[in-house]
Structure 1
Amino acid sequence: MTQRSMAALFTAQALSTSATTIGVALASVLAVKLMDDESYAGLPSTVNLLASAFSAYFAGQYMARHGRRAGLTLAFLLGTVGAALACWQALAGHFWGFMIGILLVGLANGGINQTRYAVSELVKPERRGQFIGWLLTCSAIGAVVTRLCIPVLKQLAEAYQLPENEAGWLLSALFLALASVLVGVFFTAKPTDVPRNTARVQLSVGELLKQPQVQLALIGMMVGQGIMLMLMVMMPVHAQHMGHGLEAISTVMTGHVVGMFGLAWITGHWVDRFGARNMILAGTVLLAASAILGMLGHSITEMGVALFVLGVGWNLCYVAGSSLLTSSLPPEARAAAQGKLDVFVWSAAAAGALGGGLLVSSSGFSTMYSVALAISLITAIGVYLRRAGEVKRVS
């Protein structure tokens, strides 16, 4: 039962990553097309991130009451509706209707992003990092599937006389619908450490943040998400300013995806072997190194190395933080608490994405890199000085 459930979650992760990869790539293009104004290009991704942060709390509460299976199935289904609506409204030329679809996909992501917690609950604590790493490897597979689907998508769009960008959202809806069916039918296993008929309890955010291990996990995920989004969004723009073309920028972004997901199969094992604290420390050091490389780099190779290092740094912070958080919470309070804390994680992601653009527009790329470097180094020093000790659950 556990193997079947794990396979369903891994496959759903690959499908949802493929769906969101297609959606994110096409959303800004469609926004500009529908409004004939490039200033709207960043609005879809901003709405998506803010909606994810907003819904994470409610997704956690729902899963605490009704279980991971019901919560994740509903999240994937909501994403299906949102992607289908985005496609329909884009075809009709209605920008704000398209944005409602984007909003629904973002709300769905608040729940879908908690798949990592569902996976970690199905294995023993000493293997949680490894399995979260494997889940992220499935994200890499999903990104590859996206690449393979593009030629097929173009052929189908031509056959049915549909614009290919709008048709991409229909493919996203199909992938999310398949993920919903897989989770709803095959995800039947229960967490390994939750006794039957256990009463659910609620811990306030204040109570959670008093715990050193929870603080460490949350800081790792927030800094990882915030710095990664800040640099990932703006580094391609920096490369373009230095005269690099679309093909070169696409190549270095592929390197970034490899850094984020390609090594996840081994980084999860490192988290279990060397400890979450050490891996968060290593991740923040790599984030700082990426900022330095981006600041000093001029060639496309140097930018590519910076983006690859950024991806690996994010991976370590995200996997280690997720694993540590799951192990630090009592089973009866875990789902609700994770939802509450994910609000902070995805808010940091939205702040990073918005903050990078604001810093560049007001003070230039050097200022953005300097801010990212300062945040990463301060976090690394704080993690190094902290002695979190062995995992001790909140009681």
Structure 2
Amino acid sequence: MDPAVNSADNPASAPAETQAATGAIKDKAAWRFVWLLSGSKMAQILVTSITVSFVGIVGGDLAGDAAYGTVPMMVVLLSAGLITLPASLLLARFGHRRNYVLSNLTGSAGSLAVALAIPWHSFPLLCLGCVAIGFYHAFAQYYRFSAAGAVRDTEKGQAISTVLVGGILAAFLGPVIASFSQEMFPPFIFIGPFVVLGGILALNAGLFAAVRDAPATVADPDRPGRTAGRIVRDPNFVIACSLASFSHLMMSYLMTATPIAVVGCGFPPDAAAQVVQWHLVAMFSPSLVLKFIDIDRHLWRIVGLGCCFLMGSLLILLGGQRLIDFNLGLVFLGFGWSFVYVGASTLLVTTLPQADQSKAQMINELFIWAASAAAAGASGWVLAVIGWFHLVVLGCIPIAVMACLAIAASRRRKLDHLLQA
């Protein structure tokens, strides 16, 4: 039968076919946007890798006191936390493209400011550059939520994991960039890496400027959502936000102090960069598997596994101060963070109504960055005052909190299923 005749005889078939084709095109556009965000995540992790590896060492040198070495990293985290609220409002008002272009350009300028602070021996300029890098991170932290909002409800967990996959390549490129760029501006070995970061972020801004926004889920205007006060009392939000915050606190606490401890044990700066590299590989490599798993169904098994890896990290780090101890300990830390973080993010985007998502994500990120900033600032002081061993022992506290939350939430979900049955 002639397709044209069939379409004429059945008018309803043409709109249905057109609607299906349109839906397929939108799905492809959404996943193209997800993969762009994955590439942008790679750029963000490059920034994190080089910043964490070197900014503490540079900060201690410029300040003249190793105890102040973690201050620049704390400035990055505080800046990101303070910009989190405006970033959420700007993303909702002006969309992805403009804001991600602006944030990447700001991060580029901040990286160049850090590079200039080294030959000028200016600790204030270093901190100013870190403020701009924090501004960049405040927007980049929404990449996973932008991805989740662009796809179908059943694909949100996979979209979040896909964005995190971008960090794997960055974990390998970071040390390579750090190594070859250290010789760009002798005798200052730390200028080159930050100059390269400035170029990468400028390029990423150009990529965002060249694309159109993917279709995202829009909240129903007739249902404006709950107030922030009601959202923070929602048990699902409390659990998701607490897990995400404590996992970041744990990671920031150990990841900020470890490069300083590595150099303090007599290892070269390249060794510290290598430790951070394998930590970053471990942070994002689980996403290669998680993107194929029904995360919502196995949520609490994933979170529980993450807590086990975090505890394993502490046990390894307590076992000695050899380079292999630092490497393996931070690999376990990365695995643990990944499982808890993906589980917490999936819980947030799947259990709260769409009308609440913007406020919930904003509050969630505020808590994450506050926890990270506090941990980064405290870790340098703890390391200087009570030493590496006691610093690691204190890491048991957030792990115990996360484990209790996971056990309580898992039992609550089982009870809900029994009552519904």
Give 1:121 deviation, angstroms. 1.5
Determine the structure 1 residue equivalent to 2:211.
Answer: 186
Q: Which residue of 2 aligns with 1:137?
A: 165
RMSD: 3.0
Q: Please tell me whether the aligned partners of residues 59 and 110 of structure 1 are also in contact (alpha carbons under 8 angstroms).
A: yes
Q: Name the larger-Rg structure.
A: 2
Decide which moves more: 246-255 or 379-388.
246-255
> So what's the TM-score if we normalise by structure 2?
0.81
Partner of 1:76: 104
Aligned: 1:7 with 2:39: no
Match of 1:281 in 2: 304
Separation in structure 2 between the aligned mates of residue 282 and residue 272 of structure 1, nearest angstrom: 13
Q: Say whether the 8 Å CA contact 2:53–2:272 is kept in structure 1.
A: no
Provide the residue aligned with 1:378 in structure 2: 401
1:174 Cα shift? 1.4
Q: Structure 1 residues 202, 50: CA separation in 2 closer, same or farther (over 3 Å shift)? A: farther
Q: Distance in 1 between matches of 2:174 and 2:340?
A: 25
Which residue number in structure 1 is paired with residue 156 of structure 2?
Answer: 128
CA offsets 1:198-254 (integer angstroms, 9 cap, x no match): 468364432112212211211111111111122223345555666666565554443
> What is the TM-score with the length of structure 1 in the denominator?
0.86
The residue correspondences of 1:334-373 to structure 2 (distance < 5 A) are 334-373=357-396
Worse overlay, 27-36 or 112-121: 27-36
Deviates more, 1:72-81 or 1:221-230: 72-81
**Equivalent runs, 1:35-50 vs 2, <5 Å:** 35-50=63-78
Match of 2:47 among 16, 19, 28: 19
Aligned AA for 2:72? Answer: P
- For the 8 Å contact 1:268–1:319, the answer to whether it is kept is no
Task: Report the AA paired with residue 317 of structure 2.
Answer: G
2:129 & 2:321 partners in 1: Cα distance? 38
User: Which of 137, 157, 169 is 2:194 aligned to?
Assistant: 169
Can you list the C-alpha shifts for 1:48-82, whole angstroms capped at 9, x where unaligned?
A: 11111111122112212222333323222221222
CA positional deviation for 1:123? 2.1
How far apart, CA to CA, are the structure 1 residues paired with 2:132 and 2:275?
A: 30
CA 258–359 in structure 1, closer or farther in 2 if over 3 Å, else same = same
Q: Residue 217 of structure 1 corresponds to which residue in structure 2?
A: 240
C-alpha distance in structure 2 between counterparts of 1:250 and 1:167, whole Å? 15
Q: How many equivalent pairs are there?
A: 387
Query: Within 2, Cα distance between the matches of 1:163 and 1:2?
Result: 44
Distance in 1, Cα, partners of 2:264 & 2:123:
29
CA distance in 1, matches of 2:129, 2:391: 31
1:95-121 CA-partner distances (Å, limit 9, x unpaired): 312321211111221111111111122
Q: What amino acid is aligned across from residue 210 of structure 2 in structure 1?
A: V
SS in 1 for 2:109: helix
Q: How far is 1:169 from its partner? A: 2.0
Shift in alpha-carbon separation, 1:164–1:334, aligned structure 2, 3 A: same
Structure 2: 5+ residue stretches without partners: 1-28, 417-421
Cα 1:97/1:63, change in 2 over 3 Å: same
